[in-house]
Chains A and B, each alone.
Chain A
């Protein structure tokens, strides 16, 4: 059973400083990784998908994947107070389960 863990549980950064979030997964055959954002009381907004080792950039959001280390990270460049939200890592294995498994999230607060 895939386990997805995120760290830190909460993170506070100043506006404009880089924010870095971490996610580890247990199934080494995983090949489908996505980062979502959820503002309080709202639905999930997908930020970036990554399928192979290396990095993938979508605007101010960059995902880094190292499958050998079972680690995927999200870096947010020049965060703004409107980026304050819960950030969720989601992992699945295309050849196996169709199911996206979510981590428990990181609460990001960006101070003006």
Chain B
């Protein structure tokens, strides 16, 4: 899927700070960050709908999302922890209503924490 681009695709870090980026040019109003740990299904971390943030309260505070404009989504991670090793998927959808909610997923950023 090249409609949603994520960068970088692969990331290997020690205890450092890093930002993941996502961009979509689909005119979608909702953008999401999902985390998929090994052998597990994706779990929603954050949702921006019309630039309003809805947070999954179980996500550690070292993860900070940012939505600088309607087509771009960032995920800032400070002092990564080994448990953060996972694939981080960006997704977007036209809206969050039933008929236009189907999120379209990017290819993901594979984060490995040493």
Contact = CB atoms under 8 A, between A and B. Distances in A.
B41 A45 contact: no
B1 A102 contact: no
A46 interface: yes
A98 B96 contact: yes
Interface of A: 31-32, 34, 36, 42-46, 49, 51, 88, 92, 94, 98-100, 102-105
Main secondary structure of the interface of B (DSSP, over half): loop
Given A98-B54, A102-B41, A104-B40, A32 B1 contact: no
Given A43-B1, A43-B108, 19 more contacts: A32-B101, A34-B102, A36-B105, A42-B108, A43-B89, A43-B105, A45-B1, A45-B105, A46-B102, A49-B102, A51-B98, A51-B99, A94-B97, A98-B54, A99-B47, A99-B56, A100-B101, A102-B42, A103-B41
A81 B81 CA distance: 38
Size bracket of the B interface: 20 to 34
14 contacts: A36-B105, A42-B108, A43-B106, A44-B91, A44-B105, A46-B103, A46-B104, A92-B101, A94-B98, A98-B54, A100-B101, A102-B41, A104-B40, A104-B41
